[in-house]
Chain A
Amino acid sequence: MTGGLQALGRVAGETAEAVAEPRAEREIAAARERLVGAREGTVALGRELATSQDQLLAYPGDDTLARARQRLLAGRRRAAGLPGFVRLAVPLAVCLLIAVAIIFGLRAREPQRAATATAVSYLVGTRAGTLGERVSAFAPRLGAAPAPELRFSDGSTVDLERASSARVTALDARGAEVDLERGAARVFVNPRRITRWTLHAGPFTVHVVGTRFRLAWDASTKRFSLQMTKGKVRVEGPTIGERQLVAGQRLDVDLSQRVSRAQTAAAKAQPSARPLAAQGASGRRHRRPVRPARQRLARTTRARRFERVEPMPAATPAPAPATATPAPAPAPARPTTLARALQHVGAGRFCQANGLLDDKALSATLAKAPAKALLALGDAARYCSAQQRARTIYLALWRRFARSPSAAAAALALARLSHTKGASALQLQQAERWLQRVSAANGASAAQQRIAAARRVELAFARRQTRRACALAREFLARWSAGSAARYVKQVAVRCKLTPERKRR
């Protein structure tokens, strides 16, 4: 092979020399003959190419050398070899690239400029508002001042309704963060290019760019309501995950019943579609409307259905309808009273069931009634807002039926009773202890353990223990990666990551 290449070299050299001298035509022909004779693969191709090139170079019409020599000796520079359209295209392309770079650069700097720009400020009525200040609208009374309106320098407004309070927790050039502690507010966010508004209502977060809506949160009943007038928002919160709402839609969430309901404008006219929080936060102490037993039963059934699909089911199952709940064996002390009470529970008449048992009857029941009956009575007391009575029943259940699924259900319910909006640190700590007791060692089922673990994540988040919440969430997801509770925990984990960032900002 090497010999072949060397032969190619020899022949090419001979050919080149032959071309260099005008008289070498005969030698070129001879070299070509030798080439043809030695044609073999690499060598042959190389030789053939070299020969052909040399012949072309020897062509009398080729003035390459003359032109190059003339230009060199004249000291002229090499002429531009690009055709006209290329000479035009290159500057155009450069201009285009510069324009694109400028546009992208400006867009990239937009957030920085927003960050360094003057932050939005606001007025409460006529005076300047300060960051973190609580703004309250008192209950209506004769001669009371009108409810304050928060007017922001970017043109946005937050109009608090009666018996509402809110706090502006952050202000920057893009917008503000407002925490609606209770009550309702009509919000208008002026849309701008860099707008970023966030409203918190209990555990719910509403992300806004530019829109008009009404937001309500009742801490006592844990009812959240969002009614859209214009634009689009994104809502995050327990039981709903993340949801987008557009103009004409309304979202009602009742955390105490674990019920969420999204409606469009068509359902607005229905009486039941009235915002839930508007009922509880309108300044007066509203009594709950008396519903027929069938309606309440349907509501309970809806809650039960919700428990199966939503991330954070109730700690204990709500009482089943009368047709589905077998009447437990009556207690020996007052069998008829307990049976009747359980019938009321089955029919959804929780307060009636609660009122049927006086303290003496309750003591006897707590001592002798079966676990299922105690659980039903505890739930009835809880649904009737008799928190202390419910706590007593659950405690009895926990003590009497230790290390059983019923006891675990009682522990979950006790944790829930301690974990309420506005609960003190001590109460939250108690809730945490009850949740820790829901373990396999104490007879809890796998489902109960899963619910308790998810609730611990929720509780840590409520206690603003972000790192702990994240750690618990990781533990949870390592054990249960799928399921409704897992979906909720994943959302919480995301919020945990976002929270420190928000604080830094």
Chain B
Amino acid sequence: MADGVAAHSERKKTGNVVEIGFTGDDAALVRALENGHPGAPAALFDRHAPHVRRMLVRLLGHDQELADLLHEVFARALKNIAQLREPARLRQWLVGVAVHTARGHIRARTRRRWLRLASDETMPEPAAPGIDPAAVEAMRCTYAVLQKLPADQRIAFALRFIAGLELKDVAEAAGVSLATIKRRLARAEKRFVALARREPPLEPWLAASTRWRDLRDDDDGGDGGEAAR
């Protein structure tokens, strides 16, 4: 297998440092990682980091510790790469690791907030040109509401409604069954709607949504199972 890896490797000389590049699909990349190919970690990061970062942002919003979390996801992935059973599904597996890391981060932050060792205030979104201020405000409020949800429900909601994953992908990323993720989503959506009512920037979105208006009118009476459909 080492030969195979070598066949897919290419050397790139930059000054005195020789960087061993890696080319090949995800399955080959996994094998290279397992065999300790020196260029595999960089290849893994370069190939999947944007997607993982995007998933972390979907899950947590813009977090000051995003770079740390991203590093942690890949550090864990490199450490536990042997646990990956289907190398072709490397990206989904990395999303699972990211979800796991994000869950730990949410819980740690909740603990810190409970102990009053960290500020309660939501992190302000970085200013960027060309972005609608109303959308930034809606984003801030959305994550402020999500912060009040249990970590598992928050993750399910973010993966489904913000990241837009399919149900089975949400279940796989969260490491639970499809039925469980449906229940979580139902609870999360119901609770999100109830809490979002108190946030004026989200009011237009709630008002525009027949689905959420119904949920709101039910006053938490329905099972919210439609979220899972």
Interface residues of A (CB under 8 A from B): 1-2, 5, 8-13, 16, 19-20, 39-42, 44-46, 48-57, 59, 62-65, 67-69, 71-73, 77-79, 81-83, 86, 89-90, 93
Query: What per-residue 1/0 map shows which CB atoms of B142-160 lie under 8 Å from chain A?
Result: 1000000000000000001
Given contacts A19-B54, A68-B70, contact A59 B42 (CB under 8 A): no
Contact: B135 with A65, CB < 8 Å? no
Q: How far is the CB of B93 from chain A (nearest CB, A)?
A: 17
Contact: A52 with B139, CB < 8 Å? yes
What residues of chain A lie closer than 8 Å to B1, measured between beta carbons? none
Interface residues of B (CB under 8 A from A): 41-42, 45-46, 49-51, 53-54, 57-58, 61-62, 65-68, 70-72, 74-75, 78, 112, 115, 117-118, 125-126, 128, 130-132, 135-136, 138-139, 142, 160-166, 202, 205-206, 208-212, 226, 229
Q: How far is the CB of A285 from chain B (nearest CB, A)?
A: 76
Can you report 5 residue pairs joining A to B where beta carbons are below 8 Å apart?
Answer: A12-B164, A45-B202, A52-B131, A68-B68, A86-B118
- Contacts A49-B142, A53-B58, A86-B118 aside, 15 further interface pairs with beta carbons under 8 A come to A2-B229, A8-B164, A41-B211, A44-B208, A45-B205, A50-B163, A65-B53, A65-B70, A69-B42, A72-B78, A73-B42, A78-B72, A78-B75, A81-B68, A82-B117
What residues of chain A lie closer than 8 Å to B128, measured between beta carbons? 55-56, 59
Q: How far is the CB of B187 from chain A (nearest CB, A)?
A: 16
Lowest 9 CB-CB distances: which A-B pairs, in order? A41-B209, A9-B164, A68-B70, A12-B164, A68-B71, A45-B205, A67-B67, A46-B161, A52-B135
Bound together, the chains give a CA A20 to CA B91 distance in angstroms of 15
Given contacts A57-B57, A67-B67, A69-B42, contact A50 B74 (CB under 8 A): no
Contact: A56 with B162, CB < 8 Å? no
Contact: B208 with A52, CB < 8 Å? no
Bound together, the chains give a CA A42 to CA B226 distance in angstroms of 12
Given contacts A56-B62, A56-B125, contact A49 B138 (CB under 8 A): yes
Contact: A20 with B118, CB < 8 Å? no
Bound together, the chains give a CA A16 to CA B91 distance in angstroms of 15
Bound together, the chains give a CA A481 to CA B68 distance in angstroms of 70
Q: How far is the CB of B94 from chain A (nearest CB, A)?
A: 13
Contact: A16 with B74, CB < 8 Å? no
Given contacts A44-B205, A52-B135, A69-B42, contact A5 B71 (CB under 8 A): no
Contact: B205 with A20, CB < 8 Å? no
| Most chain B CB atoms below 10 A, which of A2, A9, A48, A49 | A49
Contact: A64 with B70, CB < 8 Å? yes
Contact: A45 with B138, CB < 8 Å? yes
Q: How far is the CB of A13 from chain B (nearest CB, A)?
A: 7
Bound together, the chains give a CA A93 to CA B57 distance in angstroms of 32
What residues of chain A lie closer than 8 Å to B165, measured between beta carbons? 9
Bound together, the chains give a CA A67 to CA B72 distance in angstroms of 12
What residues of chain A lie closer than 8 Å to B49, measured between beta carbons? 65, 68-69
Nearest neighbor of B206 in chain A, beta-carbon distance: A41
Q: How far is the CB of B200 from chain A (nearest CB, A)?
A: 14
Contact: B45 with A49, CB < 8 Å? no
What residues of chain A lie closer than 8 Å to B209, measured between beta carbons? 40-42, 44-45
Contact: A69 with B45, CB < 8 Å? yes
Nearest neighbor of A79 in chain B, beta-carbon distance: B68
Nearest neighbor of B142 in chain A, beta-carbon distance: A49
Contact: B54 with A57, CB < 8 Å? yes
Bound together, the chains give a CA A77 to CA B72 distance in angstroms of 8
Bound together, the chains give a CA A1 to CA B210 distance in angstroms of 9
Nearest neighbor of A12 in chain B, beta-carbon distance: B164
Contact: B66 with A64, CB < 8 Å? yes
Bound together, the chains give a CA A89 to CA B206 distance in angstroms of 42
Given contacts A56-B62, A59-B128, A68-B71, contact A16 B211 (CB under 8 A): no
Contact: B50 with A65, CB < 8 Å? yes
Bound together, the chains give a CA A42 to CA B206 distance in angstroms of 8
Given contacts A8-B164, A65-B49, contact A42 B211 (CB under 8 A): yes
Contact: B67 with A64, CB < 8 Å? yes
Contact: B131 with A56, CB < 8 Å? yes
Nearest neighbor of B126 in chain A, beta-carbon distance: A56
| Most chain B CB atoms below 10 A, which of A41, A54, A63, A71 | A41
Contact: B58 with A50, CB < 8 Å? yes
Q: How far is the CB of A49 from chain B (nearest CB, A)?
A: 5
What residues of chain A lie closer than 8 Å to B142, measured between beta carbons? 45, 49
What residues of chain A lie closer than 8 Å to B166, measured between beta carbons? 9
Q: How far is the CB of A339 from chain B (nearest CB, A)?
A: 88
What residues of chain A lie closer than 8 Å to B62, measured between beta carbons? 53, 56
Bound together, the chains give a CA A57 to CA B50 distance in angstroms of 9
Given contacts A1-B226, A42-B209, A86-B118, contact A81 B65 (CB under 8 A): yes
Contact: A5 with B161, CB < 8 Å? yes
Contact: B208 with A41, CB < 8 Å? yes
| Most chain A CB atoms below 10 A, which of B67, B117, B209 | B67
Q: How far is the CB of A483 from chain B (nearest CB, A)?
A: 52
Q: How far is the CB of A48 from chain B (nearest CB, A)?
A: 5
Bound together, the chains give a CA A81 to CA B229 distance in angstroms of 39
What residues of chain B lie closer than 8 Å to A67, measured between beta carbons? 67, 71
Bound together, the chains give a CA A93 to CA B138 distance in angstroms of 37
Bound together, the chains give a CA A39 to CA B75 distance in angstroms of 38
